Structure 1
Amino acid sequence: MSMPTMDEAAKVLADPKAYTDEAGLHVVLSQLRANAPVAWVEVADYAPFWAITKHADIMEIERANEVFTNSPRPVLVTREGDEQQAAIGIKTLIHMDDPQHRDFRAIGANWFRPKAMRALKDRADELATQFVDRMAAQGPECDFVQQVAVNYPLYMIMTLLGVPEADFTSLLHWTQELFGNDDEEFQRGTSMAERGLALLEMFQYFTELTAARRANPTEDLASTIANATINGEPLNDIETVSYYAILAAAGHDTSSASISGGMHALLEHPEELARLQQNPSLMPLAVEEMIRWTTPVKEFMRTAQRDYEIRGVRIAAGDSVLLSYVSGNRDDEVFADPFRFDISRDPNKHIAFGYGVHFCLGAALARLEVNSFFSALVPRLESIELAGTPEHIATTFVGGLKHLPIRYRLR
């Protein structure tokens, strides 16, 4: 039997189920980095694209944001999905390019600066302690993802937005559907119309929230967005709702994936957990390693506005490129022994938050959440082990574990 070509192997990047088998995925990505770091991918139902798997190339393309734009294809979805997004006219930060991107990013930026994070730290620590207490109460076993990791960051981002706690569950379901619509457990249906329902319901919810905050402004991020202006004009409905949606969804799913992925990594590497218990000052480095190891955002897409050459391969104007962050974060040219989980890894030049002008707006919040959570949990752990088989969500965009059964004893 002949070996598949590298272009054939690169099709794995468009297969949601491939991301449920991390070991198998990394074998293919390692081969691509070594043999075809810029590979052409043609898959049924998808517009074709170039797969970019080397850390340096991903950074080069992110830096060249005038050549490689987010619009019109910021994320890998099917042709039908591309058309649906264009028809709805979704306008989140990931769909925009400068100068529009710069103007919209500025609206929420102050809420994620270091000063704001210092103010949020007490809330993050308090919530982390509550969730660890809850683990203690419901022990000795739990599904760490569904009972802990999805809820803690949800409370954080909703607190920031100013959404009432009674609505948290609805927002959780919508985000799980949006990012899990390739996973049979989370998708509402298989048709595009059924899959679009979560988005429509979320839009309806945030449209009503905007109206309420314009009528009665409050001291929260939702009010900042609802009452923002660009060039003297208020944001339209699609723009306000898109802003909430990206914050609520991306600000939640990425952090929950980092926390559950970090927990899994500590379970698989008990010697690293022991090091962290003995030396809590390693926590900031451990957080970065958990985020590198998990890489919740698997990819973003860019579209070339003119011909461009990378590694001797010509990307033609109009061609799409897929930036595989999962691959870049295991590149041995950047990370010594990249398949070793090392809580003291320093430097750690991971690209889990992207790079350049589109560097993740909520990166500081994600780091704060992961740090607060494990700072609350690790000192209280007497014992912890797997109590079943971990399962990953089927996705090509954002995700990580969907189930992590654990058995534990807490002080």
Structure 2
Amino acid sequence: MGTPILDGKVLADPLAYTDDARLHAALSHLRAHAPVSWVDVENYAPFWAITKHADIMEIERANDVFTNSPRPVLVTREGDEQQAAVGIKTLIHMDDPQHRDFRAIGANWFRPKAMRALKDRADELAVRFVDKMAAEGPEIDFVQQVAVNYPLYMIMTLLGVPEADFASMLLWTQELFGADDEEFQRGKSMEERAMALLEMFQYFTQLTADRRANPTEDLGSTIANATINGEPLSDIETVSYFAIIAAAGHDTSSASISGGMGALLQHPDQLARLQNDMSLMPLAVEEMVRWTTPVKEFMRTAQQDYVIRGVPIAAGESVVLSYVSGNRDEEIFADPFRFDVGREPNRHIAFGYGVHFCLGAALARLEINSFFSALLPRLKSVEQTGPAAHVATTFVGGLKHLPIRYELT
């Protein structure tokens, strides 16, 4: 799988995220020997690698000093330039007060009251997909036949996207987040890769026009007809909002569900423990999210000089917050490389921290809980029948294949 990289360059290597042993060897080394380290790797603007849980939280709290703009995620120099040229305006590209105003548009759809209303839908869909497993078994690719589709159905229903368009949305998402993966990428050039984003934007431009002409009772209408200080959102702001909710809203949950299943297969004692005590499910959900950490990193840029862990960071320099590393920090988690469905406390930062805490965290938790609550009581046996495969990425991803054989009641 390549030569081990024991410095911060590993964070800019998409293939490192396809090999857990290699990735975590490098991140463990960094936490122990260079928790704040300068990284200068070919084709990327330099950055500081932040690998300790406490440091990540400190930077997240200091959102007036460390801003999302202009480098919210780790991409190549060419990607940085393209991002600036296109003018994408999603929540992850924004800072307060703009971020606060835009976050408020969709916030009510993800509050506890809304989750209670969505629980019946989540439970119903979970049963539907477990029934689908029963019908299509006894062998499937759990990721491609189940895990990518269940949360997709949830978020698309919330947005009011017709079911006939779900397949297109899944394809665009896989192409966007899998742009570095040979199986999913649209092409090698930046122009080819940009086509997936362009097609998604064209789709949501049409959906926005439809919802403005004929408002409905869904999140899609809320976004399309939103105003800030009495002014409607611009076209790019509207379609950017749609795109981040649609793409991140299902891909991260599918990574947690598939990674959760993979972890239960690797730790059959924990599977048996959870099946024997389903009251552990809320804790198990948090452990699945920690274990998989679907969002690998975000970036921040210092607006003034700052010192972290004794290391001076100059104004204008960028940092990569490695959530994957923070979620294995030995100072925070007892035996962090042990998958424990009863782990408590579990101070994971897979949903971020501070003002940029994931808007859809409650929905993700609901989906994972509903799915495994429907599956595990019916699961008589399960085994992995071939190698699992991860998406090559430096941003969002998880398992892309998990072949299993199983028996359901």
Q: TM-score range by the shorter chain?
A: over 0.9
Partner of residue 268, structure 2: 270
Deviations 1:279-315 (A, max 9, x none): 0000000000000000000000000000000111000
Partner of residue 389, structure 2: 391
Partner of residue 141, structure 1: 139
Tell me how far apart the structure 2 counterparts of residues 68 and 283 of structure 1 sit (CA, whole Å). 36
**Is this contact kept in 1: 2:4–2:22, CA < 8 A?**
no
Task: Give yes or no for the alignment of 1:73 onto 2:103.
Answer: no
Alignment-mate amino acid for residue 173 of structure 1: L
Partner of residue 179, structure 2: 181
- Structure 2 regions of 5+ residues with no counterpart? none
Task: Give yes or no for the alignment of 1:381 onto 2:379.
Answer: yes
Tell me how far apart the structure 2 counterparts of residues 143 and 43 of structure 1 sit (CA, whole Å). 36
The normalised TM-score by structure 1 is 0.98
Partner of residue 36, structure 2: 38
Tell me how far apart the structure 2 counterparts of residues 257 and 372 of structure 1 sit (CA, whole Å). 15
2:159 to 151, 161, 170: 161
Offset of residue 5 of structure 1: 9.2
1:310 to 296, 308, 316: 308
RMSD, matched Cα: 1.0
Partner of residue 193, structure 1: 191
Dislocated runs of 4+, deviation >3 Å: 3-6
2:130 to 123, 127, 132: 132
Tell me how far apart the structure 2 counterparts of residues 87 and 187 of structure 1 sit (CA, whole Å). 21
Deviations 1:147-181 (A, max 9, x none): 00000000000010000000000000000000000
Alignment-mate amino acid for residue 250 of structure 2: H
Task: Give yes or no for the alignment of 1:244 onto 2:263.
Answer: no
Tell me how far apart the structure 1 counterparts of residues 283 and 344 of structure 2 sit (CA, whole Å). 7
Partner of residue 63, structure 1: 61
Tell me how far apart the structure 1 counterparts of residues 251 and 305 of structure 2 sit (CA, whole Å). 35
Alignment-mate amino acid for residue 55 of structure 1: H
Tell me how far apart the structure 2 counterparts of residues 117 and 231 of structure 1 sit (CA, whole Å). 28
Tell me how far apart the structure 2 counterparts of residues 4 and 383 of structure 1 sit (CA, whole Å). 36
1:29 to 27, 30, 37: 27
Tell me how far apart the structure 1 counterparts of residues 317 and 41 of structure 2 sit (CA, whole Å). 15
**Is this contact kept in 1: 2:50–2:319, CA < 8 A?**
yes
**Is this contact kept in 1: 2:204–2:239, CA < 8 A?**
yes
Tell me how far apart the structure 1 counterparts of residues 238 and 8 of structure 2 sit (CA, whole Å). 37
Offset of residue 10 of structure 1: 1.2
Partner of residue 85, structure 2: 87
Offset of residue 24 of structure 1: 1.1
Tell me how far apart the structure 2 counterparts of residues 233 and 151 of structure 1 sit (CA, whole Å). 36
C-alpha spacing 1:5/1:170, structure 2 compared with 1 (3 Å) = closer
Alignment-mate amino acid for residue 409 of structure 1: E
**Is this contact kept in 1: 2:4–2:26, CA < 8 A?**
no
Partner of residue 319, structure 1: 317
Partner of residue 363, structure 2: 365
Partner of residue 285, structure 1: 283
Figure out how many residues of one structure are paired with residues of the other and give that number. Answer: 407
Tell me how far apart the structure 1 counterparts of residues 373 and 111 of structure 2 sit (CA, whole Å). 22
Offset of residue 4 of structure 1: 9.2
Tell me how far apart the structure 2 counterparts of residues 267 and 4 of structure 1 sit (CA, whole Å). 26
Query: SS at 1:351's partner residue?
Result: coil
1:217 to 200, 208, 215: 215
The normalised TM-score by structure 2 is 0.99
Offset of residue 258 of structure 1: 0.1
Tell me how far apart the structure 1 counterparts of residues 137 and 211 of structure 2 sit (CA, whole Å). 40
Offset of residue 391 of structure 1: 0.3
- Structure 1 regions of 5+ residues with no counterpart? none
Query: SS at 2:319's partner residue?
Result: strand
Query: SS at 1:193's partner residue?
Result: helix
Deviations 1:319-357 (A, max 9, x none): 000000000000010000000000000010000000000
Partner of residue 255, structure 1: 253
Deviations 1:349-383 (A, max 9, x none): 00000000000000000000000000000000110
**Is this contact kept in 1: 2:5–2:26, CA < 8 A?**
no
Alignment-mate amino acid for residue 210 of structure 2: A
Tell me how far apart the structure 2 counterparts of residues 225 and 290 of structure 1 sit (CA, whole Å). 31
C-alpha spacing 1:213/1:78, structure 2 compared with 1 (3 Å) = same
Partner of residue 120, structure 1: 118
